[in-house]
Structure 1
Amino acid sequence: MKRPIIYILTALITLALPASARIPASQRIRLTNQWEYLKGDLGSIWEAVRAAAPGSSEAVPIWQPVTLPHCFNAEDAVDPDVNYYQGPGWYRTLLDIQNPAANGRTILEFEGAGQKTEVYIYTQKVGSHTGGYDEWSVDITDAVQQALSNPDCRKRFNGKVPLSIRCDNSRDTEMIPSDLSDFNVYGGLYRYVNLIYQPALSFSSFKLETPVQKDLKNAALKVQANFYNPNDTRQATVHFTLKDPNGKKVTEQTATDILPLGEVQLFDIAIKNPMLWSPEQPQLYTCEFTLKTTEGEQTVTEQIGFRHFEFVDYGPFKLNGKRLLLKGTHRHEDHAGVAAAMTEEQMVTEIKMMKEMGINFIRLGHYQQSDIILRLCDELGILVWEEIPWCRGGLGGETYKAQARRMLTNMINQHHNHPSVILWGLGNENDWPNDFPTFEQSQIRAFMKELNDLAHRLDPSRVTSIRRCDFCKDIVDVYSPSIWAGWYRGQFTDYKSTSEKEMKRVKHFLHVEWGGDSHARRHAEDPFKSLGGIPVGAGADERAGDFSLVGGDARASRDGDWSESYIVKLVDWHLKEQETMSWLTGTAYWPFKDFSTPLRPENPVPYVNQKGVIERDFTRKEVFYVFQSYWTEKPMIHIYGHTWPTRWGTENEPKEILVYSNCPAVELFVNGVSQGVKQRNSQDFPAAGLHWKSVLREGENHLKAVAVKSKEAVSDEITVAYQTAQWGEPKQLKIASYPEGNNIIRVEAQLTDEKGIPCLDAANLISFEIAGDGKLLQNLGTSTGSRKVQTYNGKAMIRAQVTDACYVSVQSDGIKTVLYSIK
């Protein structure tokens, strides 16, 4: 077939380059330092350029130095007193271009920028992009040459080239995701920006197909390449080497006389007895490609995996011919102090923590995420559902639809080669209206069908999915209904029966999103005391308004205490039931980490969805260890209550003590006295039978649990106080401070009654302020990093960085404010 000739008609061009491919470090530079940021807009691009020159006296408006990645909303997303900023912002830096390739191309690669982006070299606009989550690139070669040939530019910048970037996350109903989504639509260069040097002819992208036959003994590797060829080179050679997971060469082939225009099928290789990729053994092969032409040479590598998966009709999920229960969670791109601008080191920490918790599956909600995350999932053995941000609000016009199509196409093309990916998500909660005056189910169905067909054309090897849009459940391959047993509706004991009912309504059922909120460090002796009005068997779906803390039907999300004590029981019940559901494909707990949301200003930590297994700063909640006890093999043991300093009750009242462990038997000691050995039995609720009723003495108590698994001994111990004194209404604030090093002081506030007795069930809102030579470590969106926070068992705390004397003001409505001096 005769292929079209490709010409570059203008310098304004965006490219889809292979972010997943490993381009040599000498040709790929992360642009992290020497950036400046301006919140707000400019009158023209010249305002960014004129003051960027070294020694310029025109320093207005004032820019602030930043490093990338950077998010507009690093702090204000969880500031309890303001709406988070949505609008334009500018970044600028100077580039020192040193492309080693003769006639080479210089590319700016964006791993993701929010939400609308414009790119300028000197005063020339060279690229733009709409969509905050897919990868995109701009060829700046010609614009750089033009800037360097401009005498004014050369003089002002001493041979360097000014790069200016405008990002904008302004509200726009004709853009996905909707601002009604339960997460912030962040702005900024919150993923890495890379400078890439390429020869005049280079690889643009690869499509590597790795079909495995059902016998698992025969597979194939089909290689398709796309080329970036602005000079219209007509002949090239590609040398290919495939190495197995042990580094042993499997095959080596060369394709000569290639016409490097458009899509080119390069190789179709039979693979006998492939080493299969799985969560237990994530075997990765390495593909090395070398492109040789008269224009130069380029070498890149990709990693692939061979696996066979299947969603059995009305049955379980199978990987490589065996049933695999998908044990999953979710990830939002969000972290304390940086919002979406997580570093690679932070991403590695997060995904490794998930793996340590025992997951083998993750849903990336609700948008395409960094390729770094996908590579980690490949390497650690985590199966992936990745989706586009068509989330809530309804359906917009043609601009809206075009963005959704483009983002689906980019997500599939850019992340196609990752063996971890099994599901392409087309949307989330598309039954949620209100961005537009009209809401037509038929129009949403028609567009969902269009996206489903597009996904299958782009990638026939994977399946499609959506969550919570019942009137579209027949369109996609895999459907997840809304089941929030024990939180938004019903009791958690409804979970199994509700799931089985929903499973029978679709051919392929997968339950993503379940769980509930917990305010870290809040515990309860009886977390069920306010839940008596919730009916059993009344359904477990989330309905309009259920996320609100007022109104509607009785439910745990409104009436519960939001304690960790309740959530460990809810999760415990779900996990023990999942072990008995032979037809279950799997589930994904929502989410792994607390994250910011503009829709929840009244939460115990304002503007934070607190359903995470860990806090927004990686601090583990107690529920982390519940998952470990069910999902991990490495011996572990954990006594519930590491962040519960004081328990309460009457003298000689037996108190429940829970131990979460994956060991076959556990012995508990209280104050040195054995409370007996309990055998682990997952169906013995709670804590799989590892629960005791023990008497605690007034004052300090020492608890220790010991176990052995596979000849490895493990133990855990905590010290807990026990209070028998009864308290009245909170009337006073008692303040204490504790040095933590590096000029950091922890300030703790405890509510007491008029007699000074700690109020251990108080949940009042506490506000902290500071004056003097110090600052609060605030706006972190954590239980100990917000200047306004509900107490946990009558206590709240925050940290301050102090350089000299200062005062912390601690306030709670109806209680006398305390002004506390610290140094």
Structure 2
Amino acid sequence: MYWFKSGFILLLVFLMAVQQCFSQEKIRLINDWEFLKQDLGGIWEAVRPVGKGNPESVPLWEKVSLPHCFNAEDAVDPDVNYYQGPGWYRTLLDIKNPYSDGRTLLHFEGAGQKTEVYIYTTKVGAHVGGYDEWMVDVTKAVEEFKQTEVCKKQFGGKVPLSVRCDNSRDLEMIPSNLSDFTIYGGIYRYLNLVYTPSLSVDQLFAKAETDSSGKLGHLNVKARFYNPAGITSAMAELRLYDPSGKRVAVGNIRLSNFQDDMTIWDIPVKKPMLWSPSKPLLYTVETIITSSAGKFRQTEKIGFRNFEFAEKGPFFLNGQRLLLRGTHRHEDHAGVGQAMTEEMIRKEMVMMKEMGVNFIRLGHYQQSRIVLNLCDSLGILVWEEIPWCRGGLGGEVYKEQARRMLTNMIEQHFNHPSVIIWGLGNENDWPGDFPEFDKEKIRTFMKELNALSHRLDDSRKTAIRRCDFCSDIVDVYSPSIWAGWYRGVYTEYKQVSQEEFNKVKRFLHVEWGGDSHARRHSENPDKALNKITSGGGADERAGDASLYGGAARVSKDGDWSESYICNLIDWHLKEQENMPWLSGSAYWPFKDFATPVRPDNPVPYVNQKGVVERDFTKKESYYVFQSYWAAKPMVHIYGHSMPVRWGDQNEEKMIKVYSNCGQAELFLNGKSLGIKKRSADDFPAAGLRWSAVLQEGKNTVSVVAGNGKEVVKDSISFVYQTEKWGKPAKITLQKISEEDGIATLEVKLLDNKDVLCLDAANLVKFSLSGDGKLIDNQGTSSGSGKVQAYNGRVLIKVRLQKGRSVVGAASEGLPTVFVEL
């Protein structure tokens, strides 16, 4: 029944998301593309006719589908710098515009980072910025090309489209290449072919508001028209439908001026059904424009709600205090880089909601319209920001890009009820791109962006994170607090937060947590805290992300185990439930992601702070969040990815259970260890922990938890090892499973007595010769060709491809081993 309900939720979310139509007719251009990962001598090289089998047809293009990213794998390849440069895409379009004298447009949902567009050899458009949407009208170029003999004889009436994307380094662009995320290249979001009549709505601004009581709503609709034909009159019909689909209002207006944004509807809405995370009720605004050019129809989803960040206080939604329980999202995934499909995005957002998230900061750039639609329909409040991130402040070209991207973000996502904050920057106190770092000039520009944001949208708040000398400019401020990771110990969290809260008018804590190497566990996870001096602050400072040098800190001196991060998260969540002045927080981030500034991490070039890996594999910490935030009953025994525990004979070991249920009963090898009641103040695991003596060899642990008649269960099995080990003396490599032509291999590090070295964190490197292919460059603990061991072992997968292969595993100072597949 659970899987049926989950499937139904996914279907419902999809249907609600796709209802927000862009225009009358939109076609995603997904298939039949070719890609070249280099530059061309000119556009002619992309379109010149080439005979089949011609040995001179160079360079060689590869077949791809969209969305597509240059850096799908090299972003996390441990042996190279990821590619930053130009790349080309080409395809043939079969243009069949159904409108008489209609317009044919290309709608880019996002492409990185500088883009040029060509119809045959004619340049028809260009854009700078990798994250906002943009349009190119190709009508004239298409019509002119279709009249040529080249179109008829060489292309069979189809139209060649070529797109050049470029993610080369450029100091006068945002985001900075000093940013802690990969600056991807490619057409990594959907590209759409759009047909419209020659008079259409370019942008619709539907402002839905309520009074503080929520009983009286108001809807104002403004429109910006696209009117290249110079049409002088039209009729607009507007309809408002409530969340059940019932039509509740209709309006008509004659239009005669299409020069500026104009109000086309302004109505009261009595007793609107309010949008909230628990009940994300969406209204629909339908706009029909009828003119001599034909009929244009567009629908937008909106929501009625009111919110307040109380000065020196918490957050209120629709008059009720709501603790913002948040996380962050980077557009990044194993095997595809930034080119996530709609299905991938939907799965990720549903996983967040099932974790209990009601708030998300979209870091550090405008994200896909798909994400915002899902936030609306799932009920997730949003902080969205522009990519003015690190590096300092550039010149006028730099600043103009920031202004343009802020304007585009606000206008393109104006109608989403989920959005409550427009972010103006991140870590703008971080110099490096320019010889000058002038705080006053940064303040001046931050004031300009703040004023621009409020001028474009006075209904949302502005915010920045970690730039103390600008904290007074924006409406909401988040300082740097990394208690127990970059500075301090995690038990200082509430005290440090209170101190920072007292410094600003409105406080919201985004970015906290720490890295964890998936599948690495510890029997003494907090031991690194003994080296840390408390009371020295909990902010992140220059050099703290480095794994070498500087003051003692858990990020450098800890074991990067899932065990430690679960404790850190557990403590933070416990404290947040007892901070009545707190507006909320957002854990950094939901999912591991690629970054060029962390080559020495256990998974190279990956920021490993996520609660899930880059391929959606859940870490143990995901369930800690669920135990505090999720509404659906759940229970999870810590250690599902910990096949071996260790200690002395007859030593008592703690077994932790994470659950949101009122009580739980634990069983060890079939024997009950008693019932515990959950108490959120009882750290760790909210009191759901048992001490037990494990037997040598295999142990089975199970738990039954519930609230009255509703019961949930979980169980795990593991080996308890009491035999001591020395230093790793050798490695073994063997196939442990095979499914659907994919073999899973496991490396083990053993001492000279063949005892598994459970604290071994050696770097292991894989190689393959033969017909198969390593499934590496995924940026995951089991999908990297070079990766640190977790408790003396490492996993890797091989696609066998119906042939023979030899796989090697090497670790410095140990004999290399091979296995034939």
TM-score category (smaller protein): over 0.9
Of 747, 754, 757, the residue aligned with 2:755 is 757
User: Which letter does structure 2 place at the counterpart of 1:455?
Assistant: S
**More displaced stretch, 501-510 vs 51-60:** 51-60
Preserved contact between residue 23 and residue 298 of structure 2 (Cα < 8 Å)? no
Structure 1, residues 235-284: CA drift from partner, whole Å, max 9, x if none? 00011110000111110111124423321211111011010000000010
Preserved contact between residue 51 and residue 58 of structure 1 (Cα < 8 Å)? no
Q: Does 1:195 align with 2:190?
A: no
SS at match of 1:195: strand
Could you tell me the TM-score, scaled by structure 2's length?
Answer: 0.97
Could you tell me the TM-score, scaled by structure 1's length?
Answer: 0.97
Task: Name 2:612's counterpart in structure 1.
Answer: 614
Distance in 2, matches of 1:600 and 1:51, equals 44
User: Which letter does structure 1 place at the counterpart of 2:778?
Assistant: L
Task: Name 1:317's counterpart in structure 2.
Answer: 315
Preserved contact between residue 52 and residue 162 of structure 1 (Cα < 8 Å)? no
Task: Name 1:541's counterpart in structure 2.
Answer: 539
Distance in 1, matches of 2:695 and 2:362, equals 47
Task: Name 1:807's counterpart in structure 2.
Answer: 806
Where in structure 2 are the equivalents of 1:346-357 lying within 5 Å? 346-357=344-355
Cα distance, 1:188 vs structure 2: 0.3
Cα distance, 1:632 vs structure 2: 1.0
Q: Does 1:484 align with 2:490?
A: no
Cα distance, 1:738 vs structure 2: 2.4
SS at match of 1:211: strand
User: Which letter does structure 1 place at the counterpart of 2:805?
Assistant: C
Of 329, 332, 339, the residue aligned with 1:331 is 329
User: Which letter does structure 2 place at the counterpart of 1:611?
Assistant: K
Of 30, 43, 49, the residue aligned with 1:32 is 30
User: Which letter does structure 1 place at the counterpart of 2:477?
Assistant: Y
Q: Does 1:364 align with 2:362?
A: yes
Preserved contact between residue 487 and residue 556 of structure 1 (Cα < 8 Å)? yes
Structure 1, residues 557-605: CA drift from partner, whole Å, max 9, x if none? 0000000000000000000000110000000000000000000000000
Preserved contact between residue 381 and residue 420 of structure 1 (Cα < 8 Å)? yes
Structure 1, residues 78-128: CA drift from partner, whole Å, max 9, x if none? 000000000000000000000000000000000000000000001000000
Task: Name 2:296's counterpart in structure 1.
Answer: 298
Distance in 2, matches of 1:335 and 1:24, equals 26
Task: Name 2:9's counterpart in structure 1.
Answer: none
Cα distance, 1:772 vs structure 2: 1.3
Task: Name 1:392's counterpart in structure 2.
Answer: 390
Structure 1, residues 791-816: CA drift from partner, whole Å, max 9, x if none? 00000010001122211111001111
Of 70, 79, 95, the residue aligned with 1:97 is 95
User: Which letter does structure 2 place at the counterpart of 1:275?
Assistant: M
Task: Name 1:646's counterpart in structure 2.
Answer: 644
What 5-or-longer segments of structure 1 have no aligned partner? 1-18
Where in structure 2 are the equivalents of 1:403-552 lying within 5 Å? 403-552=401-550
SS at match of 1:530: helix
Structure 1, residues 522-548: CA drift from partner, whole Å, max 9, x if none? 000001223311011210000000000
Task: Name 1:572's counterpart in structure 2.
Answer: 570
Structure 1, residues 663-682: CA drift from partner, whole Å, max 9, x if none? 11111110111111111000
Distance in 2, matches of 1:51 and 1:269, equals 58
Q: Does 1:595 align with 2:589?
A: no
Distance in 1, matches of 2:55 and 2:123, equals 25
SS at match of 1:163: strand
Distance in 1, matches of 2:415 and 2:528, equals 50
Cα distance, 1:56 vs structure 2: 7.4
Where in structure 2 are the equivalents of 1:13-92 lying within 5 Å? 22-23=20-21, 27-51=25-49, 59-92=57-90
Q: Does 1:820 align with 2:819?
A: yes
**More displaced stretch, 706-715 vs 682-691:** 706-715
SS at match of 1:815: coil
Preserved contact between residue 667 and residue 675 of structure 1 (Cα < 8 Å)? yes
Distance in 2, matches of 1:724 and 1:710, equals 39
Distance in 2, matches of 1:237 and 1:57, equals 59
Task: Name 2:5's counterpart in structure 1.
Answer: none
Distance in 2, matches of 1:692 and 1:816, equals 42
Preserved contact between residue 53 and residue 156 of structure 1 (Cα < 8 Å)? no
Preserved contact between residue 122 and residue 153 of structure 1 (Cα < 8 Å)? no
Q: Does 1:774 align with 2:772?
A: yes
Preserved contact between residue 119 and residue 127 of structure 1 (Cα < 8 Å)? yes
SS at match of 2:804: strand
SS at match of 2:780: coil
Task: Name 2:259's counterpart in structure 1.
Answer: 261
Distance in 1, matches of 2:715 and 2:582, equals 36
Preserved contact between residue 21 and residue 300 of structure 2 (Cα < 8 Å)? no
Structure 1, residues 594-653: CA drift from partner, whole Å, max 9, x if none? 000000000000000000000000000000000000001211000000000000000000
Task: Name 2:230's counterpart in structure 1.
Answer: 232
User: Which letter does structure 2 place at the counterpart of 1:576?
Assistant: K
Of 564, 580, 583, the residue aligned with 1:582 is 580
Structure 1, residues 416-448: CA drift from partner, whole Å, max 9, x if none? 000000000000000000100110000000000
Q: How many residues align?
A: 804
Change (3 A) 1:224 1:52: farther
Cα distance, 1:57 vs structure 2: 7.3
Q: Does 1:134 align with 2:122?
A: no
Change (3 A) 1:21 1:103: farther
Task: Name 1:655's counterpart in structure 2.
Answer: 653
Distance in 2, matches of 1:141 and 1:559, equals 60
Task: Name 2:4's counterpart in structure 1.
Answer: none
Distance in 1, matches of 2:121 and 2:803, equals 47
Distance in 2, matches of 1:551 and 1:166, equals 43
User: Which letter does structure 2 place at the counterpart of 1:820?
Assistant: V
Structure 1, residues 286-345: CA drift from partner, whole Å, max 9, x if none? 111111001111111001000000000110000000000000000000000000000000
Cα distance, 1:53 vs structure 2: 8.2
SS at match of 1:816: coil
What 5-or-longer segments of structure 2 have no aligned partner? 1-16
Of 742, 745, 754, the residue aligned with 1:744 is 742
CA RMSD of aligned residues (A): 1.3
Of 741, 765, 784, the residue aligned with 1:786 is 784
Q: Does 1:623 align with 2:632?
A: no
Task: Name 2:793's counterpart in structure 1.
Answer: 795
Distance in 1, matches of 2:49 and 2:812, equals 48
User: Which letter does structure 1 place at the counterpart of 2:464?
Assistant: I
Distance in 1, matches of 2:22 and 2:647, equals 64
Preserved contact between residue 176 and residue 400 of structure 1 (Cα < 8 Å)? yes
- How many percent of aligned residue pairs carry the same amino acid? 62
Task: Name 1:8's counterpart in structure 2.
Answer: none
Distance in 1, matches of 2:739 and 2:521, equals 28
Preserved contact between residue 236 and residue 260 of structure 1 (Cα < 8 Å)? no
SS at match of 1:532: helix
Distance in 2, matches of 1:364 and 1:193, equals 21
Distance in 1, matches of 2:41 and 2:803, equals 42
Preserved contact between residue 23 and residue 296 of structure 2 (Cα < 8 Å)? no
Preserved contact between residue 682 and residue 689 of structure 1 (Cα < 8 Å)? yes
Cα distance, 1:463 vs structure 2: 0.5
Preserved contact between residue 53 and residue 157 of structure 1 (Cα < 8 Å)? no
Cα distance, 1:25 vs structure 2: 8.5
Of 560, 563, 586, the residue aligned with 2:558 is 560
Task: Name 2:205's counterpart in structure 1.
Answer: 207
